[in-house]
Amino acid sequence: AVNGAESEQWETPRRADIFDLKLWREEGPSGFGFMEYGKEHGETDVDRTAALIDQHYFEALNQITIFDKNNVITEEFIDALSGDAAPNHNTDGTLQSFRYVYWVARYSQDERDGIPARTREEYMDEAKPEHIPAHLLPDREPEQDFSNETIPY
C-alpha cells in the first residue's frame, strides 16, 4: 500500500459521539446520517442499524460520569439521556423535575455499581435540588412571609 489507500480499507469505522447517537435514536431512519452510519459499520438493514445505534449509544452512555465529586449529577449525563429517559425541560431550559432526573441518575449509577435497584419513589424521595447543576433548576417563587400581616376582618 504505497499510497495508503489499502490501509483505509481496513480501518475500523469511527464511533459517533453520544449526541449523534441520541439524535438517531430519537429520529430513527429519517435522521440525517442514520443509514450512512449503518453502512459505515456494514449494516444496510434499518432494524439492524437501529440496534447497532442503540448498542453504541448505551456503550457511550456507560462511559459518562453520572455524579461528580460533590454528588451533583453531571450535565453531560443529563444531556445524553434520550427517549423515554430524557427529562422534560421548561421553556427556559431548566428541568421540570429534579426528582425525576435524580431517579434516572441514581438508578443508572446503582446498576453500574451492581447495587440492587430500589423503587422510583424511594429514589425520588431522597432527591434534593443540590443533586442538580444550579443553572438547570427553575427559579423558585419567593415564599411570602405572612407572620406580620394583620387579618383583614
Secondary structure (DSSP) of 10-32: TPPPPPPPHHHHHHHHHHGGGST
Report the chain's mean pLDDT, rounded to a whole number: 87
Q: Model-level pTM?
A: 0.74
Looking at the DSSP bridge assignments, the partners of residue 73 are 67
133 or 11, higher pLDDT: 133
Q: How many helices (H) and strands (E) does the chain have?
A: 7, 0
Backbone angles phi, psi at 80, to 5 degrees: -80, -15
Nearest to 17 by CA among 75, 69, 60, 65: 60
Q: Measured between alpha carbons, how far is 101 from 55 in angstroms, rounded to an integer? A: 22
Res. 153: pLDDT tops 50 = no
Q: Residue type for 52, please?
A: L
pLDDT digits (tens, 9 = 90+) for 90-142: 999 999 999 999 999 999 999 999 999 999 999 999 999 999 999 999 886 44
